[in-house]
Amino acid sequence: MTHPPDPAAYAYLLGLYLGDGHLAVTPKVPVLRIACTSTYPDLVDACAEAMLATLALKVQRIPKEGCISVESSGQHWPCLFPQHGPGKKHKRPIVLADWQRAIVEAHPGDFLRGLFHSDGCRFANRVVVRGKEYVYPRYMFSNRSADIMALCQWALDLLGIAWRMNLPWSLSVARREAVAVLDQHVGPKS
C-alpha cells in the first residue's frame, strides 16, 4: 500500500510525522506514534482524524508528561512512512519517495500544516522602529534536520510563500502577504 485513500490527510500526517512522529517496527505490528502537546486539544483531534483517514482502524490517545501520544497499529505504516529507521531524524537522511513528493505537490498546504503544527508556531512579533512599536503576526518553523527544513522550504515555495532563515535550523515567515497565505493553510494552533 503506497497510495493512501485521503491524500490531503496523509500530507498533513506526513508533516506531523516528520516533526514529532515515530514509527516503532516490532515483530508483532508496527505502531505509529505522534507526540502532540496537550495544550492544543484540537491539534490532537486533527492528528487522530488524519490517522483514521489514512490507514488506522483505531487510534489511541495515551497521556504522557506534557503531551498526548496519538498512536495506531497497522501493518502498512512502514509502507506509508519509508523514512522510518533507527536514530534521530536529524542524524539520518530524510528523502521523500516519488509518490510522497507527488502528494505533497498536490497538497502543500496540508503538509505545511502538519510541519507547523509539530515544529512551528504563529505568534505576535513586536518590533520598535524609531520609538514606535509595531505588532504583526509571524510564523516560525524549527527543525534540526537539514532535509526536513528543505522540505518545508520547498512546500512554502510551491505556495509562493516568502520565507527567510534565521538560523540554520529555523525559518521565519513574516511578510504580511506571506503570513496571509500561510494563515489559509495553517492558522493558529488551537
Tens of pLDDT, residues 67-96? 999 999 999 999 999 999 888 898 899 999
Please name the residue that has the C-alpha cell 525559518. Answer: 171
pTM listed for this prediction: 0.94
CA dihedral (64, 69, 73, 78) in degrees, to 10, reads -120
Distance of CA 184 to the CA centre of its chain: 16
Q: What's the pLDDT at 43?
A: 94
Q: Please report, for the chain, the start and end positions of each structural domain, with discontinuous segments joined by +.
A: 7-88, 115-185
Tens-place pLDDT, residues 121-171: 999 989 888 999 989 999 999 999 999 999 999 999 999 999 999 999 999
CB 6 within 8 A of CB 106: no
103-115 burial code (b ≥16 CB/10 A, e <16): bbeebbbbbbbbb
CA angle 109, 110, 111 (to 5 degrees): 90
Residue 56 CB burial class (10 angstroms; 0-12, 13-18, ≥19): buried
pLDDT at residue 162 in the model? 98
Specify whether the CB–CB gap between 16 and 56 falls below 8 A. no
Indicate if 115-185 has the same CATH topology as 7-88. Answer: yes
Q: In the beta sheet, which residues pair with residue 122?
A: 139
**Closest of 2, 14, 23 to residue 108, by C-alpha:** 14
How many other C-beta atoms are found inside a 10 Å radius of the C-beta of residue 44? 19
* CATH entry 3.90.180.10 includes domain 115-185: no
d(CA 184, CA 175): 14
pLDDT in tens, 99-117: 999 999 999 999 999 999 9
Ramachandran bin of 131, using left for φ above 0, alpha for ψ from -120 to 50, beta for the remaining angles: left
pLDDT value, residue 177: 96
Task: For the domain made up of 7-88, give the CATH fold.
Answer: Endonuclease I-creI (3.10.28)
Longest dimension (CA), the chain: 64
